[in-house]
Amino acid sequence: MIQRIQSILLFIAALVFLATIFLRSHIASEAMTWVVPTVIGLQVLAAVFALATIFFYNNRKQQLKMVSLLQFVALIAIIGMFGGAYMAGLVEELPGNTMGMVLLVLPMVGYVLVRLSGQRIKKDIELVRSMDRLRP
């Protein structure tokens, strides 16, 4: 039986992306007002993609394509967060600001979870392919 661990990983990734949105108010900057809405939009998009990808469990190849797109969106959101924090001068304040550190680490955790789910989907595809070889 194929285990659906990747669905759990995608759900946790969606929760991580949503948690990043709700913690955003602690690091919002007045200097870079365009960064915050852009990154929030990317985080919402990543969370919606993660939740939508769960429901493609019948079509694994389509689910793998969605995970690849989700990885790209999450990577752009991470780059936007770090770039915005750097341009706003918040990088120098991070060693003393634990909430800021958590906020910058959470999207990376979400990306890792999405990456792990993609690997699990590939394993499922290989498992189904090997089982098809055994059938007469």
pLDDT tens per residue, range 65-117: 999 999 999 999 888 887 777 776 666 666 666 666 777 788 899 999 999 99
Residue 112 has a pLDDT of 94
Q: What average pLDDT is seen over the chain?
A: 81
Q: What pTM value is reported for the model?
A: 0.83
DSSP 32-58: -TTHHHHHHHHHHHHHHHHHHHHTTTT
